[in-house]
Chains A and B, each alone.
Chain A
Amino acid sequence: MNRVTKRTWLMGLFLLVLLGGMAFFLVEYALFAETWVTTVGSPHVYNNANLGTGTVVDRSGQVLLDISEQRTYASDADTRKSTLHWLGDRKGYISASAVSNYAGKMVGFDLIDGVYQESGDGGEASLTLSAEVQNVALNAMAGRKGTIGVYNYKTGEILCALTTPTYDPDNVPDIASDTTGAYEGVYLNRFIQSTYIPGSIFKTVTTAAALECVPDILDKTFYCDGAYEYGTERVTCETAHGTRDLKGALASSCNCSFAQIAELVGKENMLKYVEQFQVTEPLSFDGITTAEGNYDISYTAPVSFAWSCIGQHTDQINPARFMTFMGAVAGGGEGAEPYLVSQVRCGEDVTYEAKTVKTGRIMPQETAETLQSYMRANVQNVYGDWNFPGLNVCAKSGTSQLGGDQTSNAMFAGFVADEEYPLAFIVVVENGGYGSSTCVPILSKVLAACKDVLDNQ
C-alpha cells in the first residue's frame, strides 16, 4: 500500500500542469487582453473588419461616423468622401487604423470589467481633423490624385489630411470594372502609405545640410549656364540662372548650383544629415506607421549624387514625414510629432487624451532660422505672398520628374511662420506638372480654411 500511496505524486504532476497552465494564461491575460479585444474580428468591438462601436467626430464635434448600430457616415457627400480614409469603409478594404488603435479605449476596456459598460453608451473618438478643411481640400484637388496635409507644429494636431482619389461610401462606385484609372489606388491612404520622389522640395534638406557643414557657405556663389557637366553626364536647369548664392539658388531652385553645393557637402555629410533630420524615417502616431522613405547613395556616380541632393535619383519621401520635417524647421529645429486622435471617451469617462510629443532637436535653431528666411523669401519673391493673405508662408516647391513621358508630380511643402497659425503643410498632386503653379492655388484655399478654423477656436 505504501508504494501505491507514494506514487500518487503523479497526480501532483498533472495538477501542476493544470494550475501552471492556468497561471501562464492569467499572465498572458494581464499582458495581452487589450490586444485580443481590439484585434480585428473581435466580436464585441468589431463589425467585420472595422470598428463596430461608438462614434467618430471631427474637431468641431461634427459626427463623421456612427457605428453604434450600423456604419452611418456623415450626412453630406463631400465629408463622407474627404474623411473616408480615416474612418474605413463598410467592407474593410480601407482600414481605419488610427481609430482602431483606440478601439479598446472606445469600448472602455479594462482588465477588470472587460468591455462591460453600465451606461451602455458607446464610445466617442475625436479627431483633430476639420471636416470643413477636408472638404475645401477635396474640392481644391478637383479630381486629381494626391494628398494634402496640414498640421499644427506646436501641438501636433493634424487639421487636414486628405488623400485622393476617394469615393462616397454611401454611394459606392463600380471600382472593380473601372477602366479610366480614376480609382487607381483608391483604397490607399496616400498621406501615410505612399512615398513620392520629392523633387526640389528636397533642396531644403540639402540647404540645411550645407548651412550645417560648409563653414563659408554664405560667402560662396555658384554659376549656372543651364548645365553642370560630369564628363558625359550632366545636371541641367530649364534656364541658365547665372550667378547665385545659397539663398538665390534655393529661390530659383537652380539644379546646377545645387550640384555644386552637393560637392561641398559631400556624400558622408549628406547621409549624416538625412539621418539626423529623420527625413526618410517612418513616422508613428496613433498606431499608424507611415511608409519609409529612401535616400540611398551607395555606389553612385557624382552626377547621381548631385541628383540625389536635388530630390531625384532614387529619393523617396513620405508626405506625413516630410510635413513633420517642415514642422521641425518652422519650430526652430524642433517641432511636434503629428497626431490624429485628440481624445477618446467611453460614456462619460475620458479614456484617452492626446499629448504633444516633440520631435526632438534635429537641427540648431540658427540653421532653422536661416532656412526659414530663405523659404519666406521664396514665397515673397517667387510664389507670390498675395496667395496667402494674412499668413507668413514659407515654402519650397518641387516638380518631381517621373521618367518616361509621364507628367511630373507637383510638390509643395512649407509652413506658416506665425505664432497664431503654427501650421506646416505638404501638397502632392500626382502628374500635376509644375509644383508652384499647381499647388499654390490649392494650398491658398486650404490654408485660408485652416486660418478660419483657428480663428474660430
Chain B
Amino acid sequence: MESLISSVTILRDSLSGDYIGFLRYAAPVLAAILLLRCALPLLTFRREPEIWAWLNLTDGTQVPITHWENVIGRSKTCDVTIDFPTVSRNHAVLTRYDDGSWTISDVGSKTGTLVNGRAVQICALKDRDRISIGGVEMQLQPITARQEARQAELRTKAASGWDTLANLMMLTLLQCLMVLGFLLGSGEEDLPQIILGFGGIIATQWVLFLFYCVIRRKSFEVETIAFFLCTMGMAAIATVKPGETVKQLMAMVIGIVVFLIIGWSLRDLERAKVFRYFAVAAGVGFLVITLLFGTEYYGAKNWLIFNGLSLQPSELSKVCFVYAGASTMDRIMSKRNLILFIAYSIVICCLLALMNDFGTALIFFCAFLVIAYLRSGSVGTVALAITALIFAGVLVLKIAPHALQRFSTWRHIWEDPQDTGYQQAQALMCIASGGLFGLGSGQGYLKYVFAADSDIAFATVSEEWGLLIAVMMVLCIAIYGFFTIRTSRVARSSFYSIGACTAASILVIQTILNCLGTLDVLPFTGVTFPFLSNGGTSMIGAWGLLAFVKAGDTRQNASFAVRLSKKEAAKV
C-alpha cells in the first residue's frame, strides 16, 4: 500500500515537471494570441469623419458640423472658424443631443449670440432659426433621419459575436491550464481557495458576456484584457497569499458592478451631469472618511480598517475625480466651471497632503494635469499646474521621509541589496531567474518578500510566468492608452474624451509608477498595478476607470455607453 502511495506521489511529481515544462511555453503563446486578437480591433478601427449637420451662411457657403459639440469662433482652433473681427475668439458652442435636437450657447462673447434677433445665453434650435454670431448670419440644417441611419450603417462594426466568443474561450483555456499548473504544484490545503479564485473569474467573465449578449452589445475586447490582467493577479495571489483569492474575486465582482453602473450613468449626458454632483461629493467624502477614521501604515494614512477588511478609499476617489474633471464643451468655456474645478482639485490636494500618501498624490496630480490641459491647453494653466506640482513635490518630500529615502535608493539598489534596496533587488533577481518563460506556478521565491502580491506583483508574475507575459501585462495597459487616443477623435462629447483620456492616463501612470518602480527605472512609490495588484479598492477603482475608457468607444454596437441607433434597435 505504502509503495502504491509513494508511486502515485512520484507520478504526480514527474508529471508536474513535464506539465510545467509545457505550460511555460503554452501560457505566453496563448496570451500573445489572445492579446493580439483583442488589440487589433481596438487599434485599427476606421474613424470616418461623421457629419451631423450643415451650417448655411448667407453667402451660400455650407460648413459641415462633424461633432456633437462644436466651438464657433474666430480662433483657428475652433471647430467652426469664422474669421470676422466682430466674432469673439471663442464665441458660441453648438451642441447636439441624443434625440437629435440642437442647442446653441453663448460662451461669454463680446458681441453676443442672437437667435431670431434675440440675444440668448442658451437656446434650443428649431428648424429655420436665424442665428447671428457677431453679426454673421447663419442657419443650422441637421441631417435627416435617413442620412443618420446611413451614417450609422457605415460606422465600423464592433467585433462579431463569434470573435468575442473565441477570445473568451481562449482566455478560459489559459485560465484552466493555469489552474492545472497550481493543482500539480501547490499544497493541498490551498487548492480549494485557488480553484475558487480562478473559477470565480471564469464564471464572472461568462456571466458578463451573456449579459452583453442580452443587451445586444458585441464588443468585449476591453473587458477581455481586464479579465486577463485579473487572472494574472489571481496567479500572483494564489502563490503569495492563497487565502485571499476569494476576497480579490469579490472585489472584482463589485468592480464590474461599479463598471456597469458608471457606464450606464455615462450613457446619457444629462444623467451623467447629475451623477457628476454625486461623484464630486463622494470623492471628497472618501478622503475625509479616511482622514477621520483611517489607520497609518508606513507613514501614509490611507487605510481604512473596517470589520477586518482593509480599504483604501483614495482608490475610489480617483474615479470620482475623473467624473468631476470631465465636462461638456459649453461648460468648459465658462470661467465659473474652471474655477470650481481648480478649487475642487485644491481641496483634494490638501486632503492628500494630510494623508501623507505620496504615490496617490502623484497620481491625482497627473490626472489634474491631464484634465487641466485637455480643458484649456493654455500655457498659463499648465504653468500653474507645474508650479503646483513642484510645490506638492517639495511638500511631500519634506513631510514624508520614507518617500525621500526611496528617492535616495533609486538607481542605487545594488549598493545595499540586503537592506534599503531589498525589495527591488529581490524583484530583479527573481525576474532574471524566471527568464522569458518563468519557473512555473508556485516555484518562485519572491513570495517571501513583502508586498509580493501588490507593490511588486509585476515581478512575482514575471518570476513564475515569465518576462514575456509580464511585458504583455504592460502592453495591455498601453493598449488602453492607444485606444483612448483613437476614440477621442470620434467622441460625441468632450465629456467622454476628457473622461476616457483622464481615466486611461491614471491607468497608465499607475502602471508606470508600479512597474518601473519595481524595476528600479523610476523611484519606488508603492502604487498598485491596475487589475493585477492584490487590493480590493484598487480593483474596484480600476474597473471604475475602465468604464470611462469604454464609454469613449463609439463603434456600432460596441459600448453599452452608446445607445443603439434607432434602425439598429428596430431591426433586433
Interface of A with B (CB < 8 Å)?
1-12, 14-15, 17-19, 21-22, 24-26, 28-29, 32-34, 36-37, 39-45, 109-116, 118, 120
Contact = CB atoms under 8 A, between A and B. Distances in A.
Interface in B58-104: 67-71, 77-79
B432 A29 contact: yes
B481 interface: yes
A2 B79 contact: yes
A124 B477 CA distance: 43
A151 B429 CA distance: 36
Contact of B498 (A4, A45, A115, A116): A4
Contacts of A112: 435-437
Contact of A43 (B70, B429, B467, B485): B429
Given A2-B77, A10-B374, A29-B432, 15 more contacts: A3-B71, A5-B497, A8-B484, A10-B369, A19-B474, A22-B474, A22-B516, A36-B429, A41-B417, A43-B445, A112-B435, A114-B436, A116-B438, A116-B440, A118-B21
Contact of B488 (A5, A15, A44, A113): A5
A30 to B, nearest CB: 10
B392 interface: no
B414 A39 contact: yes
A4 B482 CA distance: 16
Nearest to A43: B445
B439 A115 contact: yes
Contacts of B21: 118
Interface stretch (B37-45, B251-259, B261-269, B503-511): B503-511
A115 B435 contact: yes
A21 B436 contact: no
Nearest to B490: A5
B409 interface: no
Contacts of A12: 481, 485
Pairs of residues from A and B, 7 with the lowest C-beta to C-beta distance, nearest first: A114-B435, A43-B445, A33-B432, A1-B67, A42-B429, A44-B433, A21-B516
B428 interface: yes
Given A15-B482, A41-B417, A113 B78 contact: no
B505 A11 contact: yes
A11 B499 CA distance: 12
B530 to A, nearest CB: 12
B329 interface: yes
Interface in B354-398: 366, 369-370, 373-375, 377
17 contacts: A1-B70, A2-B67, A2-B71, A5-B497, A11-B508, A15-B508, A18-B512, A19-B478, A28-B521, A34-B432, A36-B429, A39-B414, A39-B417, A44-B445, A109-B432, A112-B437, A116-B434
A94 B67 CA distance: 74
Contact of B437 (A22, A28, A116): A116
Nearest to B487: A8
Contacts of B67: 1-2
Nearest to B68: A1
B199 interface: no
Contacts of B429: 36-37, 39, 41-44
Contacts, number: 169
A110 B375 CA distance: 50
Nearest to B418: A41
A4 B374 contact: yes
Given A11-B508, A14-B481, A120-B17, A1 B425 contact: no
A8 B521 contact: no
A34 B429 CA distance: 9
A10 B481 CA distance: 10
Interface string B511-551: 11001100101100000000000000000000000000000
B329 A1 contact: yes
Count chain B CB atoms within 10 A of each CB in A17, A110, A114 and give the residue with the most. A114
B333 to A, nearest CB: 11
A15 B481 contact: yes
Given A1-B71, A1-B79, A18-B508, A11 B430 contact: no
A4 B497 contact: yes
Interface residues of B, number: 68
Contacts of A36: 425, 428-429, 431-432
Nearest to A114: B435
Contacts of A33: 431-432
A186 to B, nearest CB: 24
A111 B414 CA distance: 20
Contact of B494 (A1, A28, A118): A1
A393 B484 CA distance: 82
A390 B67 CA distance: 101
A29 B68 CA distance: 48
A1 B554 CA distance: 15
Contacts of B508: 11, 14-15, 18
A353 to B, nearest CB: 23
Contacts of A3: 71, 77-78, 377
A45 B515 CA distance: 24
Nearest to B518: A25
B463 to A, nearest CB: 8
Contacts of A10: 369-370, 373-374, 501, 505
Contacts of A113: 435-437
Contacts of B484: 8, 11
Nearest to B482: A15
A3 B70 CA distance: 10
B426 interface: yes
B34 interface: no
A33 B425 CA distance: 11
A19 B508 CA distance: 10
Nearest to B434: A114
Contacts of A17: 512
B491 interface: yes
Contacts of A9: 485
Contacts of B498: 4
A91 to B, nearest CB: 14
Contact of A116 (B366, B439, B446, B481): B439
A14 B512 contact: yes
Contacts of B414: 39
A14 B485 CA distance: 12
A11 B418 contact: no
A42 B431 CA distance: 11
A116 B497 CA distance: 46
B8 interface: no
Contacts of B481: 11-12, 14-15, 18
B149 interface: no
B489 interface: yes
A114 B432 contact: yes
Contacts of A115: 433, 435, 439
B471 interface: yes
A115 to B, nearest CB: 5
